[in-house]
Structure 1
């Protein structure tokens, strides 16, 4: 009887070890191993060859289970006579199922580290002792697997795809503060967002046109809220450089300034292709030691400009603490809960300001979104629905939607 109890305990050990080793978090295991945790180090080493580990566990488990069944049959015949041969299989199956399978495996699935770390103390020497048998069993198993086109000579490494990492961050819950969680997700989004998505469009660029009167240029320099301004002659396509206003502080105190002096403080323009992803552009800004880039299309025409601050704000949100600066002038809230939005407003800015989820694949402005869905230039007082958003066109001018009323559709509306 004592022998049978010991065999059941060994069976429970092998069953729980199998589940604990498989269920353990590989990334937490790797972290603990690098921190010097001895148990984690042993388990990580065992899991490098999962086929060998499972072979040791299954060899031990099958040997113990078969031995236990034999002992149970002998005990049953001794106690019950010939009828014990019929009772033994049923009794040992129920006992093994409850005490050697379900209970230990359930516990191991819930507490894999508590099972795997101490179990590795016994599994490690067993793997060395049973090496010849493991090699034979794995060889036969591998032969059959190759017949079905499955190769076992190389194990896949654990790598997370961006989408899988996004799922891990989303499911982290309270382990990661909500603000940090959002920043991590924004970093993952940098790969799918291009400079064209966040750039300041050409028609909204504030710059210095050297063909303007000098008084107008000085007025722009003194009233500009930006520290860097593009400098061009006549047309932004004739881009001459970028002017850093801080370097002009002493020059602006002079009574007379000429355009030649301004050009002395102008650095060469840094051009950026329109399809460059934000994560790549962030690295390029760092390598080039630049903070502003002129976005150009495939023909070399200027489309707008992008700054380092624009990219960083995609990760951490708005930097400015000025309430007036953080209020989007293109979005005007209405008493009925709707919003009057400028047609040139960027869809990403609208989503960020209103916590909406307007589709941003394709068109980048509200006007572009409306034109894409209508496939024509609309008249005013036309309404349309884009997913969960109701859009009423209020003003059309110069072949584009100038203003529209937008509201998010609710369950009742």
Structure 2
């Protein structure tokens, strides 16, 4: 039997969204001067603009791209891009996990795009992206939040492609470098890699995306939350802090805290390095643990954020499918009750397994301390089922 570990994670937060707050976070460190005021006041609007400008700086967004705050988290930002830009030409939706499949449903059932190519793959795999015509608009997820599978590169996107490229990057930004020259609409939420509060998303538009929005009027009605135009022109005020609807200034200040922390540690490269180091700890442990395997078999496609793993071996395979599915739930539940680790069970629609968030807001030592506890809980569960 594996002995019960003695060292506990100091911050047992391993959720893949909302993710762990940056080190040193506490609510009393947030600027609250904008609370209780109009979001259109000079001070509040200035804070929204500061969040936009700091996002641009830290992500290295090109000067001629626009950065805006959107309602509805990454979902709202991504669906806004789809609903305002798709339908002008043939489109491809590429998906390999839960959220990408939602975008497929949008395209098929809501927008009913007539000339649509759907490329999908099982959890842990990525479809052959070279099949996508360069003249097609394309929607894809840079990093599969619920499968742990990321795109290994952007070689499949031509620099001179005529279609619009819409990128759901919510669990990739601040962990992986974005190839901005090939991206026209990029979205993410504050709650993912930075550990911010939920409900707000970011929409980053290239000049090509702006041209599409201004030159194209979709045939379907647009909800107010998706309306980016004023007359026939893009409403640029949205990208200067005048949000479409009322934002949470408390959530905004929380996001600013995270951005300033990223800047203080060295910017996005420091975040990349932290995520890489954290993920290596988990991946090396999976490789050394005979009863686990990475959900993504190809190392080039394995994420450095939400690392997903499934169980294998004689004992787990001796159980019924129903009992196998319960094993990761019981391990995660047991360690949560002990305040060892929170929210690291696999996503509800994914194959049964565990998912440990490794983004840059986590400390490597906390991840290292969690893993022996998982081994202990597994052995306890196995012994109780003999």
- Indicate whether the TM-score tops 0.5: no
Larger radius of gyration: 1
Larger RCO (alpha carbons 8 Å, 6+ apart) = 2
Q: What TM-score, normalized by structure 1, do the two folds share?
A: 0.22
Looking at secondary structure, tell me which structure has more helix per residue. 1
Q: What TM-score, normalized by structure 2, do the two folds share?
A: 0.23
